[in-house]
Chain A
Amino acid sequence: MAENIFGGFKEYSVAEFFKKNRQMLGFSGKIRSLTTIVHEYMTNSLDACGEAGIHPEIEVWVEELEKNDRYKVKVRDNGPGIPEKILGKALGMMLAGTKFHRYVQQRGQQGIGAAGCTMYSLITTGQPVSVVSKHQGKKISCKLGIDFKGNKPVLTEVVREECPLEEHGLEVEGVFADTKYEKSAYGVGEYLKRTAIVNPHARIVFNSPEGDKFVYPKSIEDLPEKAEEVKPHPLGIGANDLLDIAKASKEYTKLSAMLQNEFTRISLNKVKELRELVPEVNLDMKPSKLSWDDAEKLVVGFKKIKWIAPATDSVIPIGKEQIEKSLRNILNPEVIYVTNRPPKIYRGGIPFVVEVGIAYGGDINKEGKGGVVMRFANRAPLLFDAGGCAITQTVKNVEWKRYEIRKFDEDPIAILVNLASVHVPYTSAGKQSISGEDDVEEEIRNALMEAGRHVQKHLSGRRREKEKSTKKKAIMRYVGQISGDMAELAGNKAEKEEIKVGLQKMIEERFE
């Protein structure tokens, strides 16, 4: 979609377009902009480490240069680094990322990547970013800017050195104005904490503007499974996706061949069905000739056909144990329950997995606020647009009282919801909230209820213990009186002590 839009704005500079449409790319509002910058670098680092099979160790510095406006952000990772020939492309060219047009479950579906940050730095402060990359024994340090007119990276002050092979990684540092650091649910601190929760295989360190150092150590050894690239399912795409695929598929002479090869579950028979359903679209045309109107018609046609559901093994959850470990590490709660549910399908063709973790008690509402909802999509924290998010809504609609959570907003409860899917149904281009797909909402609700039941079990057990001890006290207080009366009634006052001890013993035993 973005490519088309950029295409239509060729007469303007990309920067101008960016200025006008920055909210689309996650740069709306000072606080959100700063969080987005950190997010873009973090995502790149985590993905790079993932592909190289490295346990990520990422350190972030945010330093205030001008109060509530200008900040220096530095991110350093231990990833494979970037070779010089693609360094400029990776950090200085819009839409040059490796992720475009790949149907793979990935974090970096938001924003426009590190190049967007470079651009933001240039626009707000006029300064390029500083980069140090160590890749296969070669270290390169430089300043990196963008030639807006040509959408080309500009490298200056380049220094090339040798370095030991075992030293590798990337360090990016930039100065960004029109930003603001805040210690809130939307701030960099919270973003990194939540990132650490869903990436227990990573060590993440945050140096805050106040001079605090937050260390989230690695809590598991296993690296997450690598996501496999899968072909899209016809029910999982929109007209723009179809157009993108058609534009990129130059090897086919016929649209019908492209459909059969680039999609899963589209067979010769299904193509026939499609021809009958949408006779006005010529499936023998060249894919590159596909128009928006025809693409839309095809997508409508897809919805009328009965498809075999796609394979669900392309969806990779974080994992029950992993979430449990990191929740324990980071929140130190009294009780944790994490679901482990099989993949489900929404819109008839898109596989997804919902993972819910509930942590209760312990340190959770140390700061006095309970009912924390942590939303994630493919391991990326969603901090903004909570109100319109299906996760938030579903959590709100659960009758928490049934699960012994009296006051959701005050009780020490934290809920983690991760939606894993090749195609996350975001509400908007900002990609910060999940849209209300029925199947997705229902699955989230079921997962919440499953976790809720387990937490309830624990809580009611605890309540029973408490009741037992109050019961014990309630009976104990009557022992003195009844022992005296019983002894006197029987005509033997001397037995009072013996009765008292006997009763006390019985009560102790019964209400331990």
Chain B
Amino acid sequence: MGEKETIEKLEDLGKSMIKQVKKRESPTFETPLRSRGNIEYDKSVGFLRLGAKKEERKFLNVAQAKTFMQTVAVANKTKKFLKEGLHTSIRGLYYQLKFSLGENLDESLFEEQTESNALIEDLEVAMGIKREDLHLTTDRKGVVAGNMIVKDTFAGEETTIDCSKQGRSGWMIPSDVDNGMEFVDVKADYVLVVEKDALWQRLNEDRFWKKEKCILITPKGQASRGTRRLLRRLADKGLPVYVFTDCDAWGWYIYWTIKTGSMTLAYLGRDFSIPEARFLGVTMADIDEFEFLKKLTIKAKPIDIKRAEEMLSYPWINVHPEWVKELKRVVRDKRKIEQDALQGKRLTFVGEYIRKKIKGKEWLP
């Protein structure tokens, strides 16, 4: 969404409230409910999103008055950021709004950052604007290497980044890959997401991305908003997305968040999910295929078992018999395998493993 459009949306919100005041009505603010009861998995599109339940907040309701005032303050502040062309973190925003209400009131507009964080999410959902569009940055996480050239317009300057010339470090994915970011050239057959940075470094040293013509990305654990947006944009270019994680509940959770979105961020919907993503491994079934892995399994922790059981109950996961089989095996054997274990045979086996899986289409949905 363009900056102009975002500013317009914010101004419209203000205008509609003023209209209400003039009609002698309480200003209202409607936002979809973000509670569990209003989160649903949309089978037709393949990701989690919010249902139809909405909540109307009124300034003239004592219980909501303060939150209402805060929401308007956040909206107004972010509009200023947009007009000034400056970015800040959600913590920066909090400090911008943490001031006394004055008039001899022993009360601040915001006391805790958690208050403003929740309101940012409210605004995102209610207005269909991403926080990145509001010039609010998030922590950067995730690294890319591959044949990809990006043009970054930032702080009044234009920089061209070639992701194939980033040496051992790779290009760090910024928090916002939408505003002022242009993908000039992407020469790849697919995208490979590797859970752990260590494996990414292994594959980078192997120049795997060059040999395989892929975009090699590590989210370094759970994928950040920026990484998910980048994956979405690459998928939109028609590139298949393959995910490679540990064979444990956490690894699989990372995969499913990339694919369908998470419960907590369900309000983000399609912009942040990649339903077409595929899972390469590591799987429990790999033990049967690769003898050496048998000795390299480790004991699963109770939390792994618990998460596996949870995932078995999610309708968007348990519709896939392959996943049910995998998860049940974890619950039964109480074992797990790290992706690092693939280096147990020899360091470069990781690349061989991935190639084999993609070639043989040995992936899980």
Residues of A within 8 A of B (CB): 471, 474-475, 477-478, 480-482, 485-492, 495, 498-499, 502-503, 505-507, 510
Chain A, residue nearest B77 (CB):
A485
B101 near A485 with CB under 8 A, answer no
* A498 contacts across to B, CB distance below 8 A: 22
Considering the chains assembled together, what is the distance between the CA atoms of A293 and B221 in angstroms?
98
Within the complex, the shortest CB–CB distance from B270 to chain A, in Å, comes to 28
B26 near A506 with CB under 8 A, answer yes
Within the complex, the shortest CB–CB distance from B135 to chain A, in Å, comes to 15
A482 near B11 with CB under 8 A, answer no
Interface residue ranges of B49-76 to A (CB < 8 Å) = 59-60, 62, 65-66, 68-69, 72-73, 75-76
**Count, chain B residues at interface, CB 8 A:** 30
Within the complex, the shortest CB–CB distance from B364 to chain A, in Å, comes to 47
Cβ of B361 within 8 Å of any chain A Cβ, yes or no, is: no
Cβ of B303 within 8 Å of any chain A Cβ, yes or no, is: no
A477 near B62 with CB under 8 A, answer no
B62 near A474 with CB under 8 A, answer yes
B101 near A480 with CB under 8 A, answer yes
Could you pull out 17 A-B pairs where Cβ atoms are within 8 angstroms? A475-B59, A475-B62, A477-B101, A477-B103, A482-B59, A486-B18, A486-B76, A488-B76, A489-B13, A489-B75, A489-B79, A490-B11, A502-B22, A503-B21, A506-B26, A506-B60, A510-B60
Chain A, residue nearest B74 (CB):
A485
A481 near B69 with CB under 8 A, answer yes
* B14 contacts across to A, CB distance below 8 A: 486-491
* A474 contacts across to B, CB distance below 8 A: 62, 65
* B107 contacts across to A, CB distance below 8 A: 477
Among B21, B65, B66, B75, the most chain A Cβ lie within 10 Å of the Cβ of B21
Within the complex, the shortest CB–CB distance from B86 to chain A, in Å, comes to 17
Cβ of B187 within 8 Å of any chain A Cβ, yes or no, is: no
Cβ of B109 within 8 Å of any chain A Cβ, yes or no, is: yes
Within the complex, the shortest CB–CB distance from A192 to chain B, in Å, comes to 51
* A478 contacts across to B, CB distance below 8 A: 59, 65-66, 68-69, 101
Considering the chains assembled together, what is the distance between the CA atoms of A498 and B18 in angstroms?
9
Known: A489-B76, A489-B79, A491-B14. A482 touches B103 (CB 8 A): no
Q: What 9 A-B pairs have minimum CB-CB distances, sorted nearest first?
A: A490-B14, A489-B14, A485-B76, A489-B76, A482-B69, A478-B69, A502-B21, A485-B72, A471-B62
B101 near A506 with CB under 8 A, answer no
Cβ of B105 within 8 Å of any chain A Cβ, yes or no, is: yes
Chain B, residue nearest A509 (CB):
B24
Interface string of B156-177 (1 = CB under 8 A from A): 0000000000000000000000
* B105 contacts across to A, CB distance below 8 A: 477
Known contacts A478-B68, A503-B21, then 13 further A-B pairs from the complex at CB < 8 Å, ordered by chain A residue = A477-B105, A481-B109, A482-B72, A486-B17, A486-B18, A488-B76, A489-B11, A489-B75, A489-B76, A489-B79, A490-B18, A502-B22, A507-B60
A486 near B22 with CB under 8 A, answer no
* B65 contacts across to A, CB distance below 8 A: 474-475, 478
* A487 contacts across to B, CB distance below 8 A: 14, 18
Chain A, residue nearest B101 (CB):
A481
Cβ of B46 within 8 Å of any chain A Cβ, yes or no, is: no
Cβ of B102 within 8 Å of any chain A Cβ, yes or no, is: yes
Within the complex, the shortest CB–CB distance from A476 to chain B, in Å, comes to 9
Considering the chains assembled together, what is the distance between the CA atoms of A478 and B60 in angstroms?
11
Cβ of B27 within 8 Å of any chain A Cβ, yes or no, is: yes
Known: A478-B101, A485-B76. A495 touches B18 (CB 8 A): yes
Cβ of B186 within 8 Å of any chain A Cβ, yes or no, is: no
* B331 contacts across to A, CB distance below 8 A: none
Chain A, residue nearest B20 (CB):
A502
* B101 contacts across to A, CB distance below 8 A: 477-478, 480-481
Cβ of B15 within 8 Å of any chain A Cβ, yes or no, is: yes
* B75 contacts across to A, CB distance below 8 A: 485, 489
Cβ of B10 within 8 Å of any chain A Cβ, yes or no, is: yes
Chain A, residue nearest B19 (CB):
A490
B73 near A502 with CB under 8 A, answer no
Known: A474-B62, A475-B59. A506 touches B24 (CB 8 A): yes
Considering the chains assembled together, what is the distance between the CA atoms of A54 and B74 in angstroms?
80
* B66 contacts across to A, CB distance below 8 A: 478
* A495 contacts across to B, CB distance below 8 A: 18
Considering the chains assembled together, what is the distance between the CA atoms of A489 and B62 in angstroms?
23
* A507 contacts across to B, CB distance below 8 A: 60
Chain A, residue nearest B107 (CB):
A477
Considering the chains assembled together, what is the distance between the CA atoms of A505 and B60 in angstroms?
11
B18 near A480 with CB under 8 A, answer no
* B10 contacts across to A, CB distance below 8 A: 489
* A477 contacts across to B, CB distance below 8 A: 101, 103, 105, 107
Q: Which of B13, B24, B72, B103 contacts A480 (CB 8 A)?
A: B103
Chain A, residue nearest B11 (CB):
A491
Chain A, residue nearest B16 (CB):
A490
Considering the chains assembled together, what is the distance between the CA atoms of A510 and B79 in angstroms?
32
Interface residue ranges of B232-282 to A (CB < 8 Å) = none
* B60 contacts across to A, CB distance below 8 A: 475, 506-507, 510
* B79 contacts across to A, CB distance below 8 A: 488-489
Q: Which of A480, A486, A488, A510 contacts B27 (CB 8 A)?
A: A486
* A490 contacts across to B, CB distance below 8 A: 11, 14-15, 17-18
Among A471, A481, A498, the most chain B Cβ lie within 10 Å of the Cβ of A481
Chain A, residue nearest B26 (CB):
A506
* A481 contacts across to B, CB distance below 8 A: 69, 73, 101, 109
Q: Which of B22, B59, B72 contacts A489 (CB 8 A)?
A: B72
Considering the chains assembled together, what is the distance between the CA atoms of A495 and B66 in angstroms?
21
Considering the chains assembled together, what is the distance between the CA atoms of A486 and B79 in angstroms?
12
Considering the chains assembled together, what is the distance between the CA atoms of A480 and B13 in angstroms?
19
Interface residue ranges of B9-43 to A (CB < 8 Å) = 10-11, 13-15, 17-18, 21-22, 24, 26-27
Within the complex, the shortest CB–CB distance from A477 to chain B, in Å, comes to 5
Within the complex, the shortest CB–CB distance from A368 to chain B, in Å, comes to 33
Among A475, A489, A503, the most chain B Cβ lie within 10 Å of the Cβ of A489
A485 near B73 with CB under 8 A, answer yes
Considering the chains assembled together, what is the distance between the CA atoms of A321 and B29 in angstroms?
54
Considering the chains assembled together, what is the distance between the CA atoms of A29 and B17 in angstroms?
77
Within the complex, the shortest CB–CB distance from B75 to chain A, in Å, comes to 5
Within the complex, the shortest CB–CB distance from B104 to chain A, in Å, comes to 10
* B21 contacts across to A, CB distance below 8 A: 486, 499, 502-503, 506
Interface residue ranges of B84-113 to A (CB < 8 Å) = 101-103, 105, 107, 109
Among A482, A492, A498, A506, the most chain B Cβ lie within 10 Å of the Cβ of A482
* A480 contacts across to B, CB distance below 8 A: 101-103
Considering the chains assembled together, what is the distance between the CA atoms of A505 and B26 in angstroms?
11
* B22 contacts across to A, CB distance below 8 A: 498, 502
A503 near B11 with CB under 8 A, answer no
* B73 contacts across to A, CB distance below 8 A: 481-482, 485
Among B76, B79, B102, the most chain A Cβ lie within 10 Å of the Cβ of B76
* B62 contacts across to A, CB distance below 8 A: 471, 474-475
Within the complex, the shortest CB–CB distance from B116 to chain A, in Å, comes to 14
* B11 contacts across to A, CB distance below 8 A: 489-491
Considering the chains assembled together, what is the distance between the CA atoms of A506 and B28 in angstroms?
14
* A502 contacts across to B, CB distance below 8 A: 21-22, 24
Within the complex, the shortest CB–CB distance from B195 to chain A, in Å, comes to 42
Considering the chains assembled together, what is the distance between the CA atoms of A481 and B97 in angstroms?
11
Chain A, residue nearest B105 (CB):
A477
Within the complex, the shortest CB–CB distance from A509 to chain B, in Å, comes to 8
* B24 contacts across to A, CB distance below 8 A: 502, 505-506
Among A478, A488, A505, the most chain B Cβ lie within 10 Å of the Cβ of A478
Considering the chains assembled together, what is the distance between the CA atoms of A477 and B103 in angstroms?
8
